């Protein structure tokens, strides 16, 4: 270990190292709290001045983090939010928490990673450790980031250090804050791994060392591919069992009684969020470089991306049974967030389903207690505002389509005032049978 590395290690162990976070969104902000709770001073950088202004005024912009989170950060003298890249020069560790979306043809889009790496390179100095947390394909840290940083003229592994530690955020889940989720740590060399391990070990409950950045990058993809494949499996089971008049939700509950060899996954209207709909295709793309095809991953993708069309099919069938066509029907969509109890609409299947309903002539409105205005999305532009969930609103709809099962929704009111409910989340099982006044179709 060089003298530069030893000096940085001393700062980390003494908790005097300044930590810079690039990207103050769903991953970066929880990490800020974990690091501050660990006793390190933090500089938070984001190119979005609105986020910086919100942090300086204590204004909440991510629902599930709560008001106290933002007011506490505002009062924290050891946290400095900034939109000035030059401030990153003060950081001893710089952690990148930026999006990694897909391009138009399902190819990896590393624009945010590469641009933020260039930003860090502008002020890279001797003794800094740079860590990427964004989900990406194996080789990104070493093959894409390192050349940009090397161009600064410093020697990697001796004068500056580079590692990968994938984020594992689970927005809205109780008891799964950043501090309590184990971290994987892999550097481009053993010294970088030592430094990153020393740091993360002080801010999270568990840090697990792996042999390289590539192993950590691959492990993160495997985690999300595992979920995507199993969700595809239960989505396919749902379609088949529905045609057999068998309740897939009851089947899953029954299988879950086995204490080994089975983990429950649940069907839905399609995949949402930043991870599951996107990350598997990073490996699919990278596999082609070595002449391999990922047939299992691609098949799962086909099943999961077809689910919005299946929801439309079930909705149309349900309306037909009520002597209504989809064209001209009034449909109230419940929930546009990709999962319950959060305000995150990224890649939400609700957007595609609403567009498909409109394309087929339905009149669509929506209610989401956490998203009062339909946000502008990467693939969708839907000009709608959330309507109040009143008895009159429910009674006026030909069909209430449950797409996100938020806890803040009054499902008993839906049961008592709606005519027809198409439920993609099994949400209406919360309502006692003696309170049910409407027909419920599971989709």
Per residue of the chain (443 residues), what is the pLDDT tens digit?
A: 899 999 999 999 999 999 999 999 999 999 999 999 999 999 999 999 999 999 999 999 998 888 999 999 999 999 999 999 999 999 999 999 999 998 888 899 999 999 999 999 999 999 999 999 999 999 999 999 999 999 999 999 999 999 999 999 887 776 677 888 999 999 999 999 999 999 999 999 999 999 999 999 999 999 999 999 999 999 999 999 999 999 999 999 999 999 999 999 999 999 888 788 889 999 999 999 999 999 999 999 999 999 999 999 999 999 999 999 999 999 999 999 999 999 999 889 999 999 999 999 999 999 999 999 998 877 778 899 999 999 999 999 999 999 999 999 999 999 999 999 999 999 999 999 999 999 999 99
Q: Which residues are catalytic?
A: 275
Residues in Cβ contact with 9 at an 8 Å cutoff, skipping those fewer than 6 apart: 1, 194, 195, 198
Q: Are 69 and 60 in contact (CB under 8 A)?
A: yes
Q: What is the pTM (predicted TM-score) of this model?
A: 0.92
Residue 395 in tokens: 């009674």
Short-list 230, 235, 236, CA closest to 280: 230
Q: Are 400 and 322 in contact (CB under 8 A)?
A: no
Residue 399 in tokens: 């069909």
Q: Are 415 and 438 in contact (CB under 8 A)?
A: yes
Q: Please name each of the domains of the chain with its CATH number.
A: 3-213 (3.40.50.720), 306-442 (3.40.50.720)
Residue 57 to residue 256: CA distance in whole angstroms: 47
């Amino acid at each position: 270990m060089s003298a530069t590395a030893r000096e940085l290690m001393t700062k980390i162990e003494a908790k005097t190292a300044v930590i810079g976070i690039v990207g103050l969104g769903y991953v970066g902000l929880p990490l800020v709290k974990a690091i501050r709770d660990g006793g390190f001073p933090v500089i938070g950088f984001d190119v979005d001045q609105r986020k910086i202004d919100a942090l300086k005024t204590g204004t909440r912009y991510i629902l599930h983090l709560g008001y106290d989170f933002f007011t506490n950060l505002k009062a924290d003298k050891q946290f400095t939010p900034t939109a000035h890249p030059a401030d990153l020069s003060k950081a001893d560790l710089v952690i990148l928490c930026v999006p990694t979306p897909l391009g138009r043809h399902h190819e990896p889009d590393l624009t945010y990673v590469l641009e933020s790496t260039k930003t860090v390179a502008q002020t890279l100095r001797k003794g800094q450790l740079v860590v990427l947390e964004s989900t990406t394909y194996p080789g990104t840290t070493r093959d894409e980031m390192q050349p940009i940083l090397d161009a600064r003229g410093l020697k990697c592994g001796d004068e500056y250090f580079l590692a990968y530690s994938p984020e594992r955020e689970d927005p809205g889940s109780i008891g799964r804050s950043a501090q309590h989720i184990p971290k994987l740590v892999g550097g481009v060399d053993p010294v970088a791994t030592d430094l990153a391990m020393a740091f993360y070990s002080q801010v999270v409950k568990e840090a697990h060392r792996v042999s390289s950045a590539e192993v950590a990058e691959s492990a993160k993809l495997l985690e999300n591919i595992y979920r995507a494949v199993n969700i595809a499996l239960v989505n396919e089971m749902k379609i088949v069992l529905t045609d057999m008049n068998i309740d897939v939700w009851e089947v899953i509950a029954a299988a879950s009684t086995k204490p080994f060899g089975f983990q429950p996954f649940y069907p839905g209207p399609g995949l949402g969020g930043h991870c599951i709909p996107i990350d598997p295709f990073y490996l699919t793309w990278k596999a082609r470089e070595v002449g391999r095809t990922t047939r299992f991953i691609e098949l799962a993708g086909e099943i999961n991306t077809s689910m919005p069309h299946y929801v439309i099919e079930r909705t149309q069938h349900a309306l037909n049974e009520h002597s209504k066509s989809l064209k001209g029907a009034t449909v109230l969509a419940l929930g546009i967030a990709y999962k319950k109890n959060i305000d995150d609409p990224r890649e939400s299947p609700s957007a595609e389903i609403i567009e498909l309903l409109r394309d087929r002539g339905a009149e669509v409105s929506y209610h989401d207690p956490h998203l009062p205005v339909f946000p502008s999305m990467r693939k969708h532009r839907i000009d709608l505002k959330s309507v109040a969930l009143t008895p009159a609103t429910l009674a006026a709809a030909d069909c209430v389509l449950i797409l996100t099962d938020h806890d803040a929704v009054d499902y008993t009111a839906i049961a008592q005032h709606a005519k027809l409910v198409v439920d993609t989340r099994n949400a209406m099982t919360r309502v006692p049978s003696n309170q049910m006044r409407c027909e419920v179709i599971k989709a």
